Structure 1
Amino acid sequence: MSVYLYRWGKFAFRRKWIVLPVWLVLFMLLGGLGAQLKEPMSNDFSMPELPSARANEILDKHFPGASEAFKFEAVTGTYVIQAPEGQKLTDKKNVDEINALITKIGELGIVAKDKPIANPVTEAQEMGCLVDKPDLSKCTSAPLNVLNTTEPNTVATLNVPFTIAKFNDITAENREAAYQVAQAARDNGLTVELSGSIAMEQEQPSGKSELIGMAVALVVMMIAFGAIVASFVPIVTAIIGLGAATSLIFVGTSIIEVPSFTTFLASMIGIALSIDYALFIVSRYKSELAVQDSPEEAAGVALGTAGSAVVFAGLTVIIALGGLSMVGVEFMTFMGLGGAIAAAFAVLTAITLMPALIGAIGKYLFKPKLPLVAKHDTADDTNVSNGTRFARLIAKAPALTLGLSVIVLGLLAAPAAGLQLGLPGDDSLPTTSTVRKAYDVRTEGFGEGSNGVLMVVVDLADVAPGQREPAVNALREKLEGYSGMAYVTEPQLSKDGAGAMLNAVPERGPNNQDTKDLVSEARDAESALAEQFPGMAYGITGTTAIYADVDHVLLSKIVPYLALVAGAAFVLLILVFRSILVPLTAALGFLLSMAATFGATVLIFQEGALGLISDPHPLVSFLPIMLIGLVFGLAMDYQVFLVTRMREEFVHGKSPKEAMISGYHHGARVVASAAIIMISVFGSFILESDPTAKTFGFALAAGVLLDAFIVRMILIPSLLVLMGKWAWWIPAWLDRILPDIDVEGTKLRELQRKPDAVVLDKDPAPVG
């Protein structure tokens, strides 16, 4: 591979005015197609064969059309109304305001005309609930908080039937109209907030995070290169690579529904990898300029060595992200593929566009120089850099540095034992959004559990008619007896009498682990009730049940996914390093950094430590698998970039300890710079308003910080010194059957020594 990349690097450097226009045409073509074909993205986190789907089947059987509200693409809307302080919604003035609001809502073109909307106060009155001591069995389902012991009759809910078919069909105008229709009621003293999918905005990257990440990257590269012009080259490749990848994803939205978070992920991966890969190649080019005969030759060697490492580092990221399709969860498959596309374009721009840009800029690449930085150039083997000093320190006491790094990672990993997961719900949205305000008002009026009602649907078709009512009552009594259950509403029978529906309201919210445990307990009781009432079956759905099901599915996929990705990457690293122990220690080090990353994320976002966030919440359910895939790929990047240089020095005759120090000298600054760039790019997403983007940004930044600076730059070098020559051992039989991919460029050096090859690679001399 190194030979092919070497030849391409020289060609692209020499024929830059062919390569650059080709990339420009490709970029403009993809950008134009993406802009023309882009369709709205989906917020569908549904999964096939969830236990909650059983309830939908029973609903469709006995309550036709009722299951539509529980589909992720369904358009729902609920106005949550609160009386002015010191007043009640039952006051005549407020009843009139609600009637006026209902009239205005009915006039909206997106509201169904055939389904009249009832005033929640009137409805509660008709149910007989507006008395001093309302009947608990009848009034639990009232849309007015009549059962509130401190401030009854102050909060109400108003469910509105919208005619919009799918979530993706909601326009900004629809959302604005649905919210603004209640402005008159607000002006007259009522608090009216809107929840449901009609009020959910599709968050897209604001662009601020990318700009901040690139700004930090620019400063870091100025320090890494000791020059200004060279610092802009990776930024250019990052913009082009990310733009092309994002445009391709937008083209895909015209064919299939793509999850909205895909663009966040692609932005994170695309910017960070594009800059990092370009950084590695430009750094190697700078080193080769000092020893090669010409800039063209230096570009060829840089691409043949660092470019080979980029290809295999990129493959580990693509394997990790592409492997998400093996999890069997559709939205994660698309998110993983989106990230893999961004990683692929990062590799492509680094090995095809980069040498052409270097050739176009020519002698101005490393000008003007920054004197204070340039004099500490790691390309000079005689220069004793800070990296060299630190490597010598590790070499003197490898057991001590190994032990300290393990202790630090272990302490950070401890909070991970309390990990809680949940899907991003209303409670995780910014406190300024109307959906979050509606959640808080509903919690204040009806209790936290009202935001995560369990819908229990009973199939009584095979139960004797005389036993149907006792069966439903027994189920209700069983559910009410569970710890953590607030109350269960009176059963609603279907028209055919063979089905029933109950709402079980837990004490805690939908993302609370106690509530999710309650779902499992309620489902486990089915077999016992079926023995008592033969033929009885029931299912549980609703936000809480779906969240619990998704958590269970995703957690069950972590181990097989990790095994798949680690196994594939292990084989790939054996090819790169031609060693058994180096890939093994790389994987074990990753497990430590991963555990520490989870611990740090739990500490900050779930437990609210250090006061960095005002609203602690469970981590998003798909974060563990996504984080494993992303950080594993990036961790192997640093392993490849740092340790391949150490192997290169070992292959060329240095002792294991000297090879580690020399490889550290050449690679530490560039790996540290790459890690800082990654951290700044990922960390900048904490500034986004979307809570999922915040959590992902922090977790990825923490993962890179811990893995790059503790595992790859302390733990692994310590192990290499302790293992000595055994680090590079490989069974002879395995060495014979493995293809020689030559990442360290041995064949490339042989090619350079052949005069014929050099002559053939040059332009023909002019004739005449």
Structure 2
Amino acid sequence: MAELLYRLGRFAARRHWTVIGAWLALLAVTAVTYVSFAGTLSSAITLPDTPTTRVSQQLEDDFEGTGGGNGALVAETTDDAAFTSQQEKQLGELFDRITGVDGVADVTDPFETQAQLDDSAKQVSDGKEQLDDGLAKLREAQAQIDGGRAALEQQREQAREAGTLADVRAQLAAAEKQLDEGQAELDEQRAKAEAQAPQLEQGLTLSRLSAPYRSVSEDGSAAVANVVFDVATNEVSVETKTAIEDLVADADIDGVEVFASQEIAQTVPEILGPGEIAGVVVAAIVLAVMLGTLVGAALPLVTALLGVGIASLGSLSLSGTVEFLSVTPVLGVMLGLAVGIDYSLFIINRHRRQLMQGADLHESLGLANGTSGNAVVFAGVTVMVALLALNVTGIGFLGLMGTVGAVAVLVAILMAVTLTPAILSLVGHRILRKKERARLASGERVDDAVVSERDKPMRTSRAWAVLGLGVVALLAVAAPATQMRLGLPDGATRAPDSSGYRAYEAQAEKFGDGFNGPLLVVADLPKTVGKDDVVAEQAAVGEALGRVWDVHAVVPIGASTDRSALAFQVIPEQSPSSQSTTDLVHNLRELRPTTSDGERATLGVAGNASAGIDISEQLAGVLPVYLVLVVGLSLLILVVVFRSILVPVTATLGFVLSLLAAFGGLTAIFQLGFLSDLFGVHAPGPVLSFLPIIATGILFGLAMDYQLFLVSGMREAFAHGAPARVAVQHGLRAGRAVVTAAAIIMTSVFAGFIFSHDATIKPIGFALAFGVLIDAFVVRMLLIPAAMHLLGEHAWWLPRWLDRILPDVDVEGAGLERSHPVEAASGTHRAGPDA
């Protein structure tokens, strides 16, 4: 591989315009394919075959009018006064216009809905009152009849004592007959009342359970209209959502604001915003300081941006046929920028060192490509493998994210080993500072690759202190990760000025937190029921649902077409992302309510909150498997590269520590709210469900990059006869500057995404920036050198049998250096056009 890259570097240097033209042509081709074939991006995260999707499918198949997705339009008066009749009329007209949008099945008028709810509750209440009045009158009538019978018996007794019973017998019989007729009529009325009582009691039960549900707030200042779509929420087209948002924006109702919920107003994050640009600016400053020339600083940025353009346009060209999450191309941009700059920097740094040793320009480019470029290819392939391994999880959108990220890294590798040498050939010796060119012209040569007195080993006591304190500090930072909860962003995490956030806040304030995450509950009955028995079953099952902890309201929706199942809307007490709502979903699924005839029903739960819980739990279950896969891969790769057992073990343990520390910082800020204002987190909540898996794959690859560029220098010095502890310091000194610059660049690029307004991008940017910072500066530059010092020569121990069977990958390109030693260019360097 090293020899191949050497030849490729020399070819790119000689045919620089051909290489540059080929890459520009490829950029043009990807731009054309993007314009021709790109589709729309989605911000809805879904997984097939979850408990939620199965219940949603049942609703679509068995219940009329409940299969489509839904969103909400929240209207609120600007002065907190109740809606006027004119405002209600204008809102009704707006809802009618939205109903006409293609893809919208229906929009419920909240004022009509609330009026129906109030009328229904009043009818049930009036019916109860009338029944109670009727029963009271029946009791009074019964008392009168009983009193009449007592009086009649008293008259009979008096007549018997007076001996006049025979004279009044007919009169008493007539009176008794009249009382019997009254009793019969009373019994008939009582039977009718008692027959109505169970139905009325069932109605009262349902009315009591659904009473907290409202479509218009109690003070009359807010209303929620439910938008029902023809298809599931994640399948609703961007055109449909945009049309609704346009109608809402053009409503112009005096004194009223209307907000679309996040299900409708889902926005696609911008790929390069102010924060991302600031990160690139910081990277440019670091490059300028390290390389000392503006040309040198610009070169990695140009190649990285060109690579990002090609990778992004090429990947998005497939978005017309494959469903892309909106975060997927952003992740590709993150990785493409970060590794593109770093990989180019590694080759430039090696090329500069060789030029200062007096190497010929083209020969230096070939050698830099065959040594540092070889390491770049290996490091990049390691990152790609970690990303492609996301496909092993079996989760479609994760696999696609990993694949797109791997494509971005592949393009960055190819750009580094072809375009970088080509441009460096054009730049010539101007990649060096003026002072360096002057020293080179005077015949002075610099070679800092040899072991010298500066490579003095650290004290053993210091190594123990660094290792001990470092591990304790990382474990302390990682501690919050023990409380990590996974979830998906809801309206509360949107930008404060967004429609989704304002709709969420208005519902939470005016109706309650749980109204932002209603649950759909389907009760599968043990047998089909008759039409007249539906209400009784709804009351029985609804009563059981209402007794579950954290249920705010239970609203019956209807029965399936064959009346073998019932559907309810359950409003939780707390927000969709709260732990109590997660517990509620589990409790409902475990509940087996008793039906009216004493048998047990089975419950299923759906809804946006339920879907988020299912996705988060499935991803949490995959994380340990993926982590084991990555750790095992790490050990295997490092054993092959460093031909050692203990070096891979220390490297992998260091990766695990940095990963846990990244998770700890992520949990502390984004879930627990520590320093949340500093990072613009206005609504702390669960950690983004797929972030731990994504961060594990990316940070693993980047950690191996830094491990390779630092420890390979240690191995090379040890292989050339330097004492083990001296070799540790030499490798650290040789690679420290470039790894420091690379880590700062990568951290700044990732950190730029922290300031995105998108709740999905922000935590990803933080996790990657913080993870790289910890791994590069704490683990690779402090803990690993300390551990290597303490291990001494044992660090490089490898069983002989394993040494014989392992392939010699020669990542550092040592063999190439021996076959192509750096030789001074013939003649004295003259300051020419490239000076």
What are the equivalent positions in structure 2 for 1:473-488 lying under 5 Å apart?
A: 473-488=539-554
| Structure 2 Cα separation of the partners of residues 115 and 667 of structure 1 | 63
Matches within 5 A, 1:462-541: 462-463=527-528, 465=530, 472-490=538-556, 492-526=558-592, 536-541=601-606
In structure 2, the partner of 1:80 is 74
Instruction: Establish whether residue 154 from structure 1 lines up as the match of residue 213 from structure 2.
Output: no
| Alignment correspondent of 1:563 | 628
Q: Which residue of 1 aligns with 2:53?
A: 53
Q: 1:116 to 1:640 in 2, by over 3 A?
A: closer
Q: CA–CA distance in 2 between the matches of 1:235 and 1:730? A: 41
Query: Structure 2 stretches of 5 or more lacking a match?
Result: 126-203, 827-835
Secondary structure of the structure 2 residue equivalent to 1:279? helix
SS at match of 1:397: helix
What does residue 247 of structure 2 align with? 178
Supply the distance in 1 between the matched residues of 2:411 and 2:806 (Cα, whole angstroms): 28
How high is the TM-score relative to the length of structure 1? 0.89
The 2-side partners of 1:661 and 1:532 are apart by 80
Find 1:693's aligned residue among 733, 741, 761. Answer: 761
Equivalent position amino acid for 2:490 in 1: G
1:249-283 deviation per Cα after TM superposition (whole angstroms, max 9, x unaligned): 12111332221111110111000000001111111
Shift of 1:454: 1.2
Looking at structure 2, the residues matched to 140 and 477 of structure 1 have their Cα atoms a distance apart, in angstroms, of: 7
The answer to whether the 8 A contact 1:415-1:603 is kept is: yes
Post-superposition shift, 1:43? 2.4
Question: Where does the alignment leave 5 or more consecutive residues of structure 1 unmatched?
Answer: 70-75, 760-768
Alignment of 1:177-326 (within 5 A): 177-183=246-252, 185=253, 188-291=254-357, 293-326=359-392
- How far apart, CA to CA, are the structure 1 residues paired with 2:495 and 2:482? 27
| Distance in 2, Cα, partners of 1:101 & 1:95 | 10
2: distance between equivalents of 1:535 and 1:482? Answer: 16
Contact 1:449-1:506 at 8 Å conserved across structures: yes
What's the CA shift string for 1:23-66, capped at 9, x where partnerless?
22222222232233221112241112101122123313421452
Distance in 2 (CA, whole Å) between partners of 1:139 and 1:85 is: 31
Match of 2:89 among 79, 94, 99: 99
In structure 2, the partner of 1:416 is 481
CA distance in 2, matches of 1:440, 1:216: 36
Structure 2 vs 1, CA of residues 139 and 434 (structure 1 numbering), >3 Å: closer, same or farther? farther
Tell me by how many angstroms 1:392 deviates.
Answer: 4.6
Q: Structure 1 residues 712, 379: CA separation in 2 closer, same or farther (over 3 Å shift)?
A: farther
Residue of structure 2 aligned with 1:748, choices 816, 824, 828: 816
- Give the 5 Å matches for 1:579-658: 579-610=644-675, 611-612=677-678, 613=680, 614-658=682-726
Cα contact 1:229–1:368 (8 A) shared by 2: no
SS in 1 for 2:42: coil
SS across alignment from 1:416: helix
Q: 1:420-454 CA distances to partner (integer Å, 9 max, x unpaired)?
A: 22111111101111111111111112110111111
The answer to whether the 8 A contact 2:216-2:222 is kept is no
More deviation in 532-541 or 10-19? 532-541
1:682 aligns with 2:713: no
Shift of 1:142: 7.4
Q: Is the 8 A contact 1:124 1:130 kept in 2?
A: no
Partner of 2:180: none
Contact 2:262 2:499 in 1 (8 A): no
Letter matched to residue 336 of structure 1:
G
Report Cα offsets for 1:546-602 as digits up to 9, x if no partner.
111111100000011111222223222222111121111111111111111111111
455-464 vs 318-327, which moves further: 455-464
CA–CA distance in structure 2, aligned partners of residues 531 and 347 of structure 1: 68
- Decide whether the 8 Å contact of 2:495 with 2:758 is kept in 1: yes
Normalised by the length of structure 2, the TM-score is 0.82
Indicate conservation of the 8 Å contact 2:659/2:771, yes or no. yes
Tell me if 1:36 matches 2:105.
no
The 2-side partners of 1:109 and 1:52 are apart by 27
Q: What corresponds to 1:6 in structure 2? A: 6
- Alpha-carbon distance between aligned partners in 2 of 1:531 and 1:292, rounded to the nearest angstrom: 93
What SS class does the counterpart of residue 160 from structure 1 fall into? strand
Instruction: Tell me, in whole angstroms, the C-alpha distance in 1 between the residues paired with 2:260 and 2:211.
Output: 19
The corresponding residue for 1:554 is: 619
- Of 396-405 and 94-103, the range deviating more from structure 2: 94-103
SS in 1 for 2:521: strand
For residues 288 and 753 of structure 1, do their structure 2 counterparts lie closer, same or farther at Cα, with a shift above 3 Å needed? Answer: closer
Deviation at 1:491, TM superposition (A): 5.6
Q: Say whether 1:451 aligns with 2:445.
A: no
* Map of 2:802 onto structure 1: 734
Deviations 1:340-359 (A, max 9, x none): 11111111111111111111
Contact 2:354 2:822 in 1 (8 A): no
Deviation digits for residues 89-138 of structure 1, max 9, x if unmatched? 4xxxx233122222234235853699675542333223335989987833
1:542 aligned onto 2:532: no
- 1:138 counterpart residue number: 207
1:439 match = 504
- Pick closer, same or farther for the CA change 1:716–1:621 going to 2, 3 Å: same
CA distance in 2, matches of 1:546, 1:394: 56
Contact 1:399 1:718 in 2 (8 A): yes
2:400 maps to 1:334: yes
Q: Which residue of 2 aligns with 1:766?
A: none
- Contact 2:345-2:742 at 8 Å conserved across structures: yes
The whole-number CA distance in structure 2 between the counterparts of 1:114 and 1:213 is 42
More deviation in 540-549 or 393-402? 393-402
Change in CA separation of 1:82 and 1:18 when aligned onto 2, cut-off 3 Å? closer
2:24 partner amino acid:
L
Corresponding residue for residue 193 of structure 2: none
CA contact (8 A) 1:506 1:515 kept: yes
Go from structure 1 to structure 2 and tell me whether the alpha carbon gap of 1:203 and 1:753 turns closer, same or farther (over 3 Å shift).
closer
- The residue type paired with residue 58 of structure 2 is I
Relative to structure 1, is the Cα distance of residues 189 and 421 closer, same or farther in structure 2, using a 3 angstrom cutoff? same
In the alignment, structure 1 residue 430 sits paired with structure 2 residue 525: no
Code of the aligned partner of 1:121? F
- Separation of aligned partners in 2, 1:12 and 1:596: 42
1:602 maps to a residue whose letter is: T
- Taking every aligned residue pair, what percent have the same amino acid on both sides? 36
What per-residue deviation string (whole Å, max 9, x for no partner) do you get for residues 297-329 of structure 1? 222221221111111111121111111111111
Partner of 2:18: 18
**Larger CA deviation: 445-454 vs 153-162:** 153-162
| Bigger radius of gyration among the two | 2
- The equivalent of 2:66 in structure 1 is 66
Note the aligned Cα RMSD (angstroms): 3.2
Range 194-203 or range 402-411, more displaced: 194-203
Post-superposition CA distance 1:645-677 (Å, at most 9, x none)? 111111111111111111111100111111100
Is contact 2:645-2:797 (8 Å) kept? yes
Partner SS for 2:497: coil
AA paired with 1:696? Answer: I
Asked if the contact 1:281–1:303 (Cα under 8 Å) also holds between the matched residues in 2, the reply is yes
- Does structure 1 retain, via aligned residues, the 8 Å contact 2:619–2:690? yes
Distance 1:370 1:553, change over 3 A: farther
Instruction: Output the CA distance in 1 between the equivalents of 2:493 and 2:269.
Output: 14
Partners of 1:405 and 1:113 lie apart in 2 by 57
- Alignment CA distance shift 1:316-1:48 (3 Å): same
Question: How far apart, in 2, do the equivalents of 1:153 and 1:41 lie?
Answer: 38
Structure 2 counterpart of 1:120, from 110, 122, 129: 110
Alpha-carbon distance in structure 1 between the residues aligned to 2:105 and 2:611: 27
Q: What's the secondary structure of 1:68's corresponding residue?
A: coil
